[in-house]
Structure 1
């Protein structure tokens, strides 16, 4: 489970959604419908933590990212799991590509509102850990180490 632990003086922030061109609107609509269908996100209307989405163009498609400035980063306490530092000195590395790997990890119910994002189609929060969330890499690595501990 992914926890979002904030610093004591953290301030909530509500940003409006950004305008999107018609092509980007279509991409966002499809992604929102897919995430709703998979129950990864849900509509929310009363969150104090609202960030606009940001689209990152890829060679073959667009990837939906929660926000551009990663607003929670300055107010987030990191959990200490650092994958790249831990690999030093290893002879072999193995990479597994889990299907939507980060989405397999639940965001703690009390922290879901802190993942709220807004777009022209509404305001939504994540039930599952999105890629790009502060310290998501550490949480994912910790889960993988726990799951595969008998093989490491």
Structure 2
């Protein structure tokens, strides 16, 4: 969706987009999406990178299911998009711990 920030980019919201939005809205409004912090369970951190963005999810495993506590993501700047795949993955890890 970040491509929509570019000048003169048309915004096309098709029937598929409407259905996807409705599904997402349903899933995000059913409780609980995020869980409260439980210091007795170990934390898990998941990080990932694509060609243009990085993200991380902090959570805990409860009864074999991963429960998210916090999400973080950002788009890469021009220099970061030139990183190798491994550098992008490590950038996601650094971002998860520092927020930068």
Larger RCO, structures 1/2 (Cα 8 Å, 6+ apart): 1
TM class, shorter-chain normalised? under 0.3
TM-score when scaled to structure 2? 0.27
Q: Which is strand-richer, 1 or 2?
A: 2
TM-score when scaled to structure 1? 0.20
